Structure 1
Amino acid sequence: MTPYETLEIKLRDLATKLHGKISVSKVYEMLELTESEIAVFNEVATKLTDEMVLVRQGNKLGDPASFNYVVGKIEVNRRGYAFVIPEDKASWSESIYVNSKDVNGAMTGDKVVVSIKNPKKPAFPGEKKEGVVKSVLVKGSRTFSGVVKWNPIRHGLMVLADDEYWYIEGNADSLDEGLSVICEALEKGEFPEPGVCRIVEVVGNISDPNTGITTILSLHGFVEEFPDDVMKEASMLPQELDEETIQSELKKGRKDIRGLLTVTIDSEDTKDVDDAITIEILDNGNYMLGVHIADVAHYVKEGSAIDREAYKRGTSVYPVGRVVPMLPKELSNGICSLNKNCDRLALSVVMEVDEMGNVVDHEIYESILNVDYSITYDQLYRIFEKPDFAILKEFGDYLSQLTLMKNLAYILNERRRRRGAIDFNLPETKVELDDEGRPISVSAYRTTFANNIIEEFMLLCNETVAERFYWYNVPFIYRVHDEPEDEKMIMLSKIVTNLGYKFKNTSKIHPKSIQSLLDSIKDKPEERIIGTMTLRSMQKAAYRSTNDGHFGLALKYYSHFTAPIRRYPDLFIHRIIKHMLHGGMNHKLEERYAKFAGEYAKHLSDRERAAQEAERECVDLKVCEYMKQFEGKKFTGIISNITSFGMFVELQNTVEGLVRFASLNDYYYFDPETMTAYGEHAGKVFRIGQKLKDVIVYRVDLTSKSIEFMLPFG
């Protein structure tokens, strides 16, 4: 690599760790820069300042925040003012207000640089930071979804999106009312005039219960159909392993483990099976655990049409009631999937684990396996947690192996707890659909220890692989999770204390403190609320080419290795591992992987986030469709969050809606220090965790996927 390239890698790595200003000379010393790197320092520093990765002013270098700059995505209100949500922040309470005269042409979705006007601490409770848009770093996609509606005021068909109408470029009369569309914003309207958009895709009519989910997926860049060149390659792949291929692979050194008793554990509707397990007890009392992962890299060649599309998608997506795979079904459900009674190629990690859960030895190799039996999480639950005679009889021949798995999983879980790993086992929202895709129920769902058995094995395997290849010092993609920010921990501590719980918040927070808090609220009415707030106080896990540790798991080394059918980072490191198993990488290959590992990690983190947002929005949509029938009905709920404009109330089935303060018969002040709201005249106080009876479902908006509640006393 050139001095420019090596210096850029070093400075980008420094940017992930830098919090404050340091002198340029100190940077030279810290990074041990060569003369050739120093010669190009100004050029590289200017580039990274333009990108707002770092900021250089004179002889000082620092992160943007240290110079009172914030980088984030902007949301522009139809009245012209805006809010900027800083990168890696999840809450509107941390957003920055931008006056309409300071938006400077930015549009919703743009990544912007904001200069903070009032960088000091708030002068009064609830005071927001205010900023000025200095530049647009990256223009947003300019795309949004909406519904074609008749506007009675403007006497024409327009696109309605988030309560805002848009003029349609071209002949709108050819469209039908009720179409769900993807649009591109052409002109931002100046209130009260609407903006102008161009329709880029007509998804379908909103009367079709599947249109909403398809629209959300399309908006986030996920489509179910694959390009023709991808399908052509997929059609040429074998669907079964023939004997000639098996013998060829064995001659190359692949191990035949088809004689080992092998099991897969998945949910009832899983068709893309990434992993299989073998386990036995050794003479010394240790466990021999085999985690065998589909050898996707054998079939998906780097640079092929399938590989390019898989990288573009980055991940499989699991919206309510369907799957959008990263790979065509010929691979994901076919030749790569570890289906029962089928010979399959795998990449195996076999670990000797002692009675304390420590890996004392391990081996990684390419293998050929054949799964003897498969069992679902529900069936496992009905063996160990809620015994069912019929299930016990069905799996009677395998109970000894399943019991070994359960015992080892308990050991590994205890090991995790001892080191202080955080376990967010919070109730999730489960939406059940009918055959046509319409929601018929919404309920709280919590995973059981049956699910955790496989999770414990995958965590151990991912850790083992990450540590081994870290010491090989080869290009790699790690799964990292940074420590939470001090401000968030201070705020969380105050809120938790106000709710009557203890949270030991020190200058150097340890995940064990957070897990102690979660243990103290288990099965309490406030569990989901405090748990959710704690989760939102964490940094987001991401992919990086540098091994920066995983705070939530309390691990120094961690990667994603165990799901290459549905996650591209896993496929990327499988290729590295296979190179090393076959004699290592030459200098040219290692240099190429090192050059692109950081770029790949960033792209794949973005695609993971897009998939998560799409899945969440799909749940929100189906929840709204379900709750529409209950408009005007009353429920009991609990206050889950409070903001300056209202409070969010969660019902027992996990459905959340907003009670606007404007709908109440008093003016309410919001105190962010105590996360309470109090009425100016009546003195009524609302707190997080407070139970509310007779909460009325006031309005369910399917377009914005939001629910508004009202209180009977106004």
Structure 2
Amino acid sequence: MITKKKVLNFINSKNYKPMIQKELYKSLGLKTKKEKKELRKILTELIKEEKIYKDGKGRYRPITKNHIVGTIEFTRNGTIAFVWTSSGEEIAVPVEKAGNAIHKDKVIVEIEGKWYDIPEGRVIKIIEHGLKKIVGTFQPVRKAAFLIPDDPKIQYDFYVPIEFFNNAKPGQKVVGKIIKYPTPTKNPVAKVVEVLGYADDPATDFPTVIVKHDINLSFPDDVMKEAANIPEKVLPKELKKRKDFRDELIVTIDGSDAKDFDDAVSVKKLKNGNYLLGVHIADVSHYVKEGSALDKEAFFRGTSIYLIDRVIPMLPFKLSHGICSLVQGEDRLVMSLIMEINKEGKVINYEVTPGIIRSKRRLVYDDVNDLFEGKKEAIEKIGDLKDTLLLMKELKNILRNARKKRGAILDIEGGEVKIILDEKGHAIDIIPRKRGETETIIEEFMIKANETIAEIFHKYNLPFVYRIHEKPEPDTIIQLKNYLSAIGIDFKVPQKITSRILQELLEKTSNHPLRDSIEKLLVRSMKRAVYSSTNIGHFGLASYAYTHFTSPIRRYPDLIVHRLIKKFLSKKDKLSKKQKKLLNDKLAKIAAYSSKRERVADEAEWDYVALKKIDYISNHIGETFDVVITSVTKFGLFVEIIEKNISGLIHISTLDDYYLYDEEKSILVGKRNGKIYKIGDKLKAKVVNANKTRMQIDFEISEA
């Protein structure tokens, strides 16, 4: 009898030479139709389990320790790609070793060496194509056309035969269904399935981003059916074994445009002078059960996506805006973390418990900030809560000072802007987004809650999902040093880089005209924070253990953390070594996939903002703005309209002389006039072009 184990052992044996199916029949002594059918089934299963693969000549080969299976993602500049495994491992693949793979393909990579500190490999097999559709610009050429992808990570233009035009016109944005994938000699082929319109029409911005990032807008029927069966009110039977906080003064504080509320807070001053901080988080895990259709869809999405004028939620509306949202005056199930905090900002006692709350007030950041500033209207509106809010502010200062003492990075504002859209979706204004005292209060309370939960799991060495942030690579810090040197700031790089040193740099440059650019480069010099089942701490926050616990409505890892809290902290479940390993392996995959989905959401949000910025500046072609040079290259000057956070290029060909690039000093020098352009120079520049397809804004220096 043929078995999966026997087949796998044979293919993995030392003397095995790659064989086609017929050769396997013979070598394994299979003669009957039934035996051959069973082998075909086993081979299919082994391929799905990623234990073997079928090469281009139909021969079956083992996936060895020298092989990695993952998803390939190309970089924007097109020189290298990275393959990410389900457990979060990263492999570099130079473009010349990527074969015919395109962005998002699932591939097998054979490891061939090292690329800096990570493995480097070659794509030996495309298992599955990740992209089914693309969005781009339709460009006819004689009796055919090409679809030029918007996404620079897609390295090919797609050939469109005349019968697949679908009435698309030159220069229009279209959605193409991929009919054929690239081969060594031929371009991929696409069929136009939807015409979005012209790029300058704001109505094309949203579908462009949705198709580009393969985002699902609607929920499957089985998910909606499950959601429909969830009650709209908290039922009496659900109150068992829950702590009742309904008589406590608990409030939510969010932005004026917030639609779902997954965190609420309460603060008291104790007789011993300590503070009792309550952070109450929506108990989404009560409604979204592990393995359910809701759970599978939430995992698939990974996170809610917040665009300027809309939200693509992780959970259906009935949960995200309904029973899981901590709305004012309604009973809601929560996971409550109650912390006693001393005057040094340390948690000296805590309780984690399932609870029930009834939020007393839905507060808005702007109103509370106005109250702190003594504005009459705010006092009339929420003055009855003044003492509690001032106590929150007092505790915030203690927590923030404690974080500053340990060296956390505090002062990054991020140069965020608010984009104002009209009813048609055109960007009519861009204004800086300022963070007030109240935003900082909620930030500090949530950080403390996330740290406390992570520290508990770290202390007891329990399987967990951490939010980790590695220290920066030395190369990126040298780039930061060179940039600072170019604008006249002396930054000595110590042997051991710490978050405290970067915080001191931010304080030192707080009034610098290029403050926003310094912040952006500092952020770029640091690694991305990601999810992991292994705790290495959080560099930016200077936390030895950190997690995401406070937003389970919109982040899947938070939902997992809630389940782990219930599993271990309430029941005190004990796992065998084998069970612990299995759970750790499962959490590692969840963490890696969640990090990947977070990147997709971030890129979608950035793309949408970029499109709206280009839309805004398109209405100001020919106008002159005050700009600052943020980067100097051999092909020109990158400049930024600081108050609008809009960047663009002054190409070297538009300058008034032949300019030479001095790479060491990062300057352009005029050959005849000796004029120097350097980082930090303030100029007046005229907008001459704004192109959504290329995602590029062009300026020219104006003497006006």
TM-score normalised by length of structure 2:
0.81
2:482 alignment partner, one of 494, 498, 503: 494
| Change over 3 Å in CA distance of 1:261–1:701 after alignment to 2 | same
Residue 168 (structure 1) aligns with: 160
1:508 aligns with 2:476: no
The corresponding residue for 1:660 is 651
**Match of 2:568?**
580
Q: Which of 667, 679, 682 in structure 2 is aligned with 1:688?
A: 679
* 8 A contact 1:287–1:353 mirrored in 2: yes
1:622 aligns with 2:622: no
Residues 1:519 and 2:507 are matched in the alignment: yes
1:304 aligned partner: 292
Is residue 405 from structure 1 mapped to residue 395 from structure 2 by the alignment?
A: no
* Matched letter for residue 605 of structure 1: S
Tell me how far apart the structure 2 counterparts of residues 551 and 613 of structure 1 sit (CA, whole Å): 23
Q: 2:234 aligns with which of 241, 248, 258?
A: 241
Is 1:350–2:338 an aligned residue pair? Answer: yes
User: Closer, same or farther in 2 for the Cα pair 1:644/1:144, shift >3 Å?
Assistant: farther
Shift in CA distance, 76/445, structure 1 to aligned 2, threshold 3 Å: closer
Give the aligned partner of residue 390 of structure 1. 377
What secondary structure, in the 3-state scheme, does the structure 2 residue paired with 1:543 have? Answer: strand
Equivalent position to 1:367, from 333, 351, 355: 355
Q: 1:597 aligns with which of 583, 587, 603?
A: 587
In the other structure, the counterpart of 1:556 is: 544
SS in 1 for 2:481: helix
How many residues of Structure 1 are paired with residues of Structure 2 in the alignment? Answer: 621
Q: 1:671 to 1:48 in 2, by over 3 A?
A: farther
Residue 337 of structure 1: SS of its match in structure 2?
A: coil
Q: How far apart, in 1, do the equivalents of 2:269 and 2:426 lie?
A: 48
Aligned residue in 1 for 2:68: 51
Measure how far apart 1:181 and its partner are. Answer: 1.2
Check whether the contact 2:144–2:160 (CA below 8 A) recurs between aligned residues: no
1:493-541 deviation per Cα after TM superposition (whole angstroms, max 9, x unaligned):
2221332223231111111110011111113211001111111000110
Structure 1 residue 413: Cα displacement: 0.9
What's the RMSD between the two structures over aligned residues? 3.3
Measure, in 2, the Cα distance between the counterparts of 1:312 and 1:416: 35
The CA distance in 1 between the partners of 2:115 and 2:555, in whole Å, is: 42
d(CA) in 2 for partners of 1:559, 1:109: 28
Q: Deviations over 1:541-584 (max 9, x none)?
A: 00000011000001101000000000000001110101123313
1:196 maps to 2:189: yes
One-letter amino acid matched to 1:708: D
CA contact (8 A) 1:343 1:369 kept: yes
Partner of 2:207: 214
Tell me if 1:83 matches 2:74: no
Per the alignment, residue 15 of structure 2 pairs with: none
Where 2:79 maps in the other structure, the secondary structure is strand
Evaluate the alpha carbon distance shift between residue 624 and residue 87 of structure 1 in structure 2; reply closer, same or farther with a 3 A threshold: farther
Tell me whether 1:227 sits opposite 2:216 in the alignment: no
Query: Could you say which residue in structure 1 is the equivalent of 2:534?
Result: 546
- 2-structure distance, mates of 1:615, 1:661: 31
Secondary structure, in 3 states, of the residue corresponding to 1:378?
A: helix
| Structure 1 CA distance for aligned equivalents of residues 83 and 97 of structure 2 | 20
After superposition, the Cα gap between the structure-2 partners of 1:83 and 1:663, relative to the gap in structure 1 and judged at 3 Å, is farther
Contact 2:199/2:693 (8 A) holds in 1: no
Moved more, 275-284 or 682-691: 682-691
Q: Distance in 2 between matches of 1:352 and 1:673?
A: 54
Say if 2:181 is the partner of 1:181: no
Equivalent residue letter for 2:404: R
Distance 1:195 1:206 in 2: 23
- Matched to 1:50, the amino acid is H
Aligned with residue 641 of structure 1, among 627, 631, 636? 631
Give me the whole-angstrom Cα distance separating, in 1, the residues matched to 2:436 and 2:357: 28
Q: Which runs of structure 2 are paired with 1:105-504 in the superposition (5 Å)?
A: 105-107=100-102, 134-135=122-123, 141-142=130-131, 145-147=134-136, 149=138, 151=140, 153-154=141-142, 158-162=146-150, 166-169=158-161, 171-177=163-169, 178-184=172-178, 186-188=180-182, 196-199=189-192, 209-242=202-235, 244-246=236-238, 249-250=239-240, 253-384=241-372, 386-423=373-410, 424-504=412-492
> Which residue pairs with 2:74 in the alignment?
74
Partners of 1:76 and 1:108 within 8 A in 2 = no
Query: Per-residue deviation at 1:176?
Result: 3.6
Distance (Å, rounded) in 1 between the aligned partners of 2:353 and 2:98 = 56
Shift of 1:308: 0.4
Go from structure 1 to structure 2 and tell me whether the alpha carbon gap of 1:306 and 1:180 turns closer, same or farther (over 3 Å shift). same
Q: Is the 8 A contact 2:100 2:184 kept in 1?
A: no
Between stretches 701-710 and 618-627, larger displacement belongs to 701-710
Does structure 2 conserve the Cα–Cα contact (< 8 Å) formed by 1:117 and 1:132? yes
Moved more, 456-465 or 445-454: 445-454
Aligned mates of 2:125, 2:672 — CA distance in 1: 46
What do the CA deviations read for 1:147-167 (whole angstroms, capped 9, x no partner)?
45453x525554343599642
2:120 and 2:659 map into 1 onto residues whose CA distance is 28
Q: Deviations over 1:235-266 (max 9, x none)?
A: 11111113x334xx32xx21011010011000
Secondary structure at 1:395's aligned position in 2? Answer: helix
What SS does structure 2 have at the residue aligned with 1:431? strand
Contact 1:647/1:660, CA 8 A, preserved across alignment: yes
Q: Percent identity?
A: 36
Flag the structure with larger Rg. Answer: 2
Q: Which amino acid letter does the alignment assign opposite residue 407 of structure 2?
A: G
Q: Point out where structure 1 has 5 or more consecutive residues left out of the alignment.
A: 1-44, 54-70, 89-95, 120-130
Q: Deviations over 1:437-481 (max 9, x none)?
A: 221112222322221110000000000000001122221100000
Cα offset for 1:489?
1.1
Alpha-carbon distance, 1:416 to partner:
1.1
Secondary structure at the counterpart of residue 202 of structure 2? coil
Per-residue Cα deviation, 1:105-136 (whole angstroms, up to 9, x for no partner): 454566888989999xxxxxxxxxxx998436
- 3-state SS of paired residue (1:587): coil
Matched residues in 2 for 1:346 and 1:433: separation?
Answer: 36
Distance 1:263 1:274, change over 3 A: same
Measured in 2, the distance between the counterparts of 1:185 and 1:46 equals: 29
Distance 2:115 2:356 in 1: 63
Q: d(CA) in 2 for partners of 1:381 and 1:453?
A: 11
Q: Which runs of 5+ in 2 are unaligned?
A: 1-61, 85-91
Could you tell me how far 1:702 is from its partner in structure 2? 1.6
Query: What letter matches 1:626 in structure 2?
Result: Y
Deviations 1:363-408 (A, max 9, x none): 1000010000111111111111x33201111112111101100110
How big is each residue's C-alpha offset from its partner over 1:639-685, in whole Å with a ceiling of 9 and x where there is no partner? 12234433321013111112223444555554554433344555433
Supply the AA of the counterpart residue of 1:218: V
2:168/2:195 contact within 8 Å kept = no
1:529 maps onto 2:517 in alignment: yes
Instruction: Indicate the larger mover: 666-675 or 356-365.
Output: 666-675
